[in-house]
Amino acid sequence: MRKLPLECLRPGMVVARSIFDAEGRVLLNKGVILKPYYIQRLRELGIPGVYVADDMGPEWEVEDVVSEATRLKALKLVKEIMEGVKGEKRGNQAALIEPERVREVVESIVQELLSRKGIMVNLADIRALDDYTFAHSVNVCILAVITGITLKYPRASLIQLGMGALLHDIGKILIPAEVLNKPGPLTPEEYNIVCRHAELGFEILSKQEGLGKIAPLVAWEHHERYNGSGYPRGLKGEDIHEFAAITAIVDEYDALTADRVYRKAYPAHEAYEMLAAAGNFRHDYRLVKAFLSNVAAYSVGTMVELNTGEVGIVLRTSPGQSHKPQVCLLYGREGKPLKAKIEIDLAQELDRWVVRVLPPQEKVEKR
């Protein structure tokens, strides 16, 4: 199985991972054979890529860190909340949030993550561009909780962190769509309008009884930066609440690895390096390190070239070995296909390392 961008899909390929919309409806089931109409419809819906079956290497599955059912439940809740807030005309948006429902969903996420050992995050979900805000909020919640677990937060703190992370972008729903989704550079005036979403989120969540003080604070401070370069108040260092600082890190990572109207997604390894380089500058390095310790720099299914000239597909990554995945070799040192597939662990092979990620187009050509 491998993930291909839409432009690399060909009729006859087999869908290896079901694709859903923000309502939880199946757009294409696993096992469906792609037809020209299906590819065109995916393009119209803004689906950026599809996991397809692949006979190049051994079979594997991209494992979600939380179950599909829990992710879809969270996705539907965020969509209902945000669309309700957007449609509210009487200034009572907070009444539409229902803290108990939010807590219930976050508790499910926390419970699933606590029950797992050695979590490594791979980029696995397929999202439509129009669903970005909803899926992004759920991803940020999951990634924030994983980071909190690494930092050994107690369960109650994980739930508070998760609730804040799930609702961190609620203020965006009050920003004009033509500004928020503008494909080109923002004017200074438009940038200031977008920046208001942090304060708007704080105002909405602060009015909600039963939500607590943490969620409003996370919404307000998730664009503050360690060096004081963020907004809306220019806070720096320890003046930023740690839950907001964690949310800022995972918010940035998930945004970097998603297709946006104004740019293509960065590959996982590039986003990893960008965040690692931001430690103790844009973000607190202690928190960045905790987050990145659970993120695979090379996602499962990525085709990589080693320093030896060998080419293979990433099978898995062990915790604490983000840059040293286990790889199934497909091509030898001279570029010739191997008769027998060989699995190696780069954490054990000290004279081998990844030097390049092959673009999806090159994967298609090698088939």
DSSP code, position 238: G
Q: Are the C-beta atoms of 346 and 324 separated by less than 8 Å?
A: yes
> In the chain, where do the E strands start and end?
2-5, 19-20, 26-28, 49-52, 303-306, 311-316, 326-331, 337-345, 354-357
Instruction: State how far the Cα of 215 lies from the Cα of 201, in Å rounded to an integer.
Output: 9
The residue with tokens 């003080």 is: 213
In this structure, what token pair is assigned to residue 168? 């961190």
Radius of gyration for the alpha carbons in the chain, expressed in angstroms and rounded: 21
In this structure, what token pair is assigned to residue 323? 């840059």
In this structure, what token pair is assigned to residue 46? 């803004």
Q: How far apart are the first and last CA of the chain?
A: 13
| The one catalytic residue among 3, 79, 172, 363 | 172
What is the greatest pairwise CA distance in the chain? 69
Instruction: State how far the Cα of 200 lies from the Cα of 174, in Å rounded to an integer.
Output: 8
Residue 325 one-letter amino acid? P
Q: How many residues does the chain have?
A: 367
**341 has catalytic annotation:** no
Residue 123 one-letter amino acid? L
Q: Are the C-beta atoms of 353 and 324 separated by less than 8 Å?
A: yes
Q: Which residues are catalytic?
A: 172
